[in-house]
């Protein structure tokens, strides 16, 4: 019972912190800076995706070379 109560308290506190995050998003949107945030996040995710694909190709090539030997 104590575990459930503790879990509910943690959820209540986290819900309150999410409500504060919405105010920040509203402020960024009203200033027009939300587009900068979205652009930066898109670039970061594109960079990570490019890195993962490139690494996968290199690993595939090395596996192919190891299989040929």
Round to whole Å and give the CA distance between 39 and 28: 13
pLDDT computed for residue 40 by the predictor: 94
Q: Which tens digit of pLDDT belongs to each residue from 29-50?
A: 788 888 898 999 999 999 999 9
Measured between its terminal Cα atoms, the distance across the chain in Å is: 61
Q: How confident is the model at residue 60 (pLDDT cuts 50, 70, 90)?
A: very high
Query: What's this model's pTM, rounded to 2 decimal places?
Result: 0.57
CB burial readout 22-60, b (16+ within 10 A) else e: eeeeeeeeeeeeeeeeeeeeeeeeeeeeeeeeeeeeeee
């Amino acid at each position: 019972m104590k575990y459930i109560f503790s879990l509910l308290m943690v959820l209540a506190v986290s819900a309150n912190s999410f409500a504060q995050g919405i105010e920040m998003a509203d402020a960024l949107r009203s200033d027009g800076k939300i587009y900068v945030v979205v652009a930066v996040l898109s670039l970061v995710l594109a960079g990570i995706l490019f890195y993962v694909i490139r690494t996968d190709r290199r690993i595939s090539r090395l596996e192919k070379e190891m299989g040929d030997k």
